[in-house]
Amino acid sequence: MTDLRAFGTSWLHANGDRGTWPATWWAEGLDLPAPLPPLDGAAQADLCVVGGGITGLSAALHAARAGMSVILLEAQRVGWGASGRNGGQVGTGLNWDQPRLEAKLGPARARAVWDLTEAARRLTRELAGQAGTEWHPGILHACRSQTALDAATRTAARMARDYGTATETLDRADLQARIGTSAYAGGVLDPAAGWINPLAYTLGLARACLAAGVRIHEGAEVHRVGPPVATARGRVTARFVLHATNGYGTHLGTKAAARVLPINNYIAVTEPLARPPMADPVAVADDRFVVNYFRQTPDGRLLYGGGESYGRRFPADIAARVRANLARTYPELADVRFTHAWGGTLAVTATRLPWLAETAPGRFAAGGYSGHGLALAGLAGQLVVEAMRGERARFDKLAALPVPALPGGRLFGGLMAQAGMVFGALKDRLG
């Protein structure tokens, strides 16, 4: 039995927004649903899901559609965490490119992982369509140096030859003409990737879950993962439990805490610009250790993600944290007014590869997507349910990725990993 309070204060309560969604640009114009009741009393189900983000909602939906009874417990509101706050980009692959995966895993295992990441992107697009969320194609991977661009060009050629991908390489002039900045030496455009409104997508998944018979309880913070799974007002006895809280719930147990490191990241949205910089409003992600990601909205704003911190608390001035990164890319916008600025907690692992595990018989965990969660989380939820139903082949392929415990163990691992992240971020600024 694991009592969460033994591990100290959760990241869940560090930055407000109690019981409501933060004021993000994604929430503008959405018909936000009324709260669902918290868990009250004892309940039973085949599956108890802890966490109402994309991983948990996907697992709940796939389990319910397979005939399982499901209870989902969310401490705040569904989509309240990283699932509804992120930059909206649905990328291709993992943080490791395929040549690196092939060197580590061998060609056959690396190809199997690639096939799963392609399935993840297709599933995200399919579920987004079912949720009524519009898909916008294309992510441009921008390179800061000619050396990096040359390497990206070689990788793109190899991927086209060995995996049948189709990308477009842009030199400095081409990229500047498209996105209006000279900050990059060029880039590679991936038309198979894309972006969506992540909050609209997550709320659509929740509606699909309710229609499929999933019992969702909001305001139902879990204090013990059991058995049974316990909140302040109720408890759930279930054959299977999925821990799907990612960076907000590393205190759910020692195995998660040893492998999943929460970090904070920030996004701001400008006012409509008199002269929007992008002739081609494609989504962009650059090659920094702490990635800058941005795109232009249909009404001429710039949505810009950049800036990071490693303690629980967000900075007092989130806009200033983002502005410093924005100004490196678009110096002419250094003093632009922001209409929205928010933070969110995601999670990384020591290798920046996702973590899927059966941590005890019938108890599963998934997270540590390291910036690729919008693409990978839906598939992770699906694979966990497959494993619960005895179909473990696809789950085991992702669960076998090298995701060791953070160096330094449960007590010091987070501090050591944070030091590494700070060093990487410093290299970004000096490079």
pLDDT of residue 256: 80
Which domains does the chain show, CATH number per domain? 4-86+199-262+350-409 (3.50.50.60)
Report residue 269: phi and psi, to 5°: -125, 130
pLDDT of residue 2: 37
Q: Sorting pLDDT into bands at 50, 70 and 90, what band is 408?
A: low
Q: Sorting pLDDT into bands at 50, 70 and 90, what band is 8?
A: very low
| 320 pLDDT higher than 50 | yes
For 142-174, the pLDDT digits (tens) are: 999 999 999 999 999 999 999 999 999 999 999
**Which token pair is 300?**
């001429």
- Taking alpha carbons only, the member of 367, 353, 395 closest to residue 82 is 367
pLDDT of residue 407: 73
Q: Sorting pLDDT into bands at 50, 70 and 90, what band is 310?
A: confident
pLDDT of residue 423: 44
Asked if residues 73 and 231 have their Cβ atoms less than 8 Å apart, the reply is yes
CA distance 4 to 250: 9
More confident call, 196 vs 251? 196
pLDDT of residue 247: 82
Cβ contacts of 151 within 8 Å, gap of 6 or more = none
Over residues 63-71, mean pLDDT: 98
pLDDT of residue 252: 62
pLDDT of residue 281: 81
Question: Cβ of 168: how many Cβ atoms within 10 Å?
Answer: 13
| 96 pLDDT higher than 80 | yes
- Taking alpha carbons only, the member of 142, 137, 189 closest to residue 166 is 189
Which residue, chain included where needed, has tokens 């498209």?
178
Pairing type for strands 261-270 and 293-296 reads: unpaired
Please report the sign of the dihedral spanned by the C-alpha atoms of residue 82, residue 88, residue 90, residue 96. negative
DSSP annotation of 3: B
For 30-54, the pLDDT digits (tens) are: 999 999 999 999 999 999 999 999 9
| 420 pLDDT higher than 60 | no
| 12 pLDDT higher than 70 | yes
For 355-389, the pLDDT digits (tens) are: 999 999 999 999 999 999 999 999 999 999 999 99
pLDDT of residue 250: 64
CA distance 422 to 431: 14
Please report the sign of the dihedral spanned by the C-alpha atoms of residue 400, residue 401, residue 407, residue 412. negative
Q: Sorting pLDDT into bands at 50, 70 and 90, what band is 280?
A: confident
pLDDT of residue 413: 44
pLDDT of residue 136: 94
Cβ contacts of 149 within 8 Å, gap of 6 or more = 143, 169, 171, 185, 186, 187
CA distance 298 to 309: 30
| 416 pLDDT higher than 90 | no
Element (H or E) spanning 243, and its range? Answer: strand 234-243
Instruction: Name the percent of the chain lying above pLDDT 70.
Output: 91
For 231-250, the pLDDT digits (tens) are: 999 999 999 999 999 888 76
Over residues 321-346, mean pLDDT: 96
Over residues 82-106, mean pLDDT: 96
- Taking alpha carbons only, the member of 46, 95, 98, 91 closest to residue 72 is 46
User: At residue 110, what is the residue type?
Assistant: A
Q: Sorting pLDDT into bands at 50, 70 and 90, what band is 108?
A: very high
Asked if residues 143 and 184 have their Cβ atoms less than 8 Å apart, the reply is yes
pLDDT of residue 133: 94
Asked if residues 414 and 406 have their Cβ atoms less than 8 Å apart, the reply is yes
| 200 pLDDT higher than 90 | yes
Q: What is the pTM of this model?
A: 0.92
